[in-house]
């Protein structure tokens, strides 16, 4: 049976590495173990590094950078550039790369971000885990 694949937004990665007792953390652990395939783009990598440098420090951000590159499938922009044009105006510019990546690969967008509300394919970390038969934490993230 093929592994479940999903686009994992930076909001999930950041919460997942900072808050051990969260649904986001369970998702990050599942990606790390290879139970699911986490798909991201370079913009997610940049967002995660920027926030973690601010909230933690450069060394912590560097460790997470290595983790992202070793555990996630990072999609180059060329693979979703067409979808950027098709989806322009459907979501805030800051999230356009993420929407385009998910659409180009026909993946759900696992995020905890109100900007994705109403977007086809958007699912919160909790709801995503529920699709896998896992219910751990009551919070959406």
Q: Could you tell me the domains of the chain?
A: 5-131 (3.40.50.1010)
The predicted-structure confidence for 44-72, as pLDDT tens digits, reads as follows 999 999 999 999 999 999 999 999 999 99
Instruction: Check residue 95 and give its pLDDT.
Output: 96
User: Does the pLDDT at position 122 exceed 90?
Assistant: yes
Instruction: Check residue 1 and give its pLDDT.
Output: 67
User: Does the pLDDT at position 27 exceed 90?
Assistant: yes
DSSP3 helix / strand / coil % (the chain, rounded to 5): 55, 10, 30
User: Does the pLDDT at position 133 exceed 90?
Assistant: yes
User: Does the pLDDT at position 86 exceed 70?
Assistant: yes
Separation of alpha carbons 20 and 25, rounded Å: 5
Tell me the whole-structure pTM to 2 decimals. Answer: 0.94
Separation of alpha carbons 85 and 129, rounded Å: 31
């Amino acid at each position: 049976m093929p592994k479940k694949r999903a686009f994992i937004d930076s909001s999930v990665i950041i919460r997942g590495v900072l808050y051990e007792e969260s649904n986001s953390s369970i998702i990050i652990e599942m990606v790390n173990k290879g139970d699911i395939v986490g798909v991201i783009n370079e913009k997610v990598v940049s967002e995660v590094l920027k926030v973690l440098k601010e909230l933690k420090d450069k060394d912590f951000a560097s460790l997470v950078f290595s983790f992202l590159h070793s555990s996630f499938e990072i999609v180059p922009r060329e693979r979703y550039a067409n979808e950027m044009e098709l989806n322009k105006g459907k979501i805030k510019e800051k999230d356009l790369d993420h929407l385009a990546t998910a659409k180009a690969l026909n993946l759900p967008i696992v995020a905890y971000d109100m900007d994705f509300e109403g977007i086809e394919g958007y699912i919160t970390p909790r709801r995503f885990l529920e699709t896998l038969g896992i219910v751990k934490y009551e919070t959406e993230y």
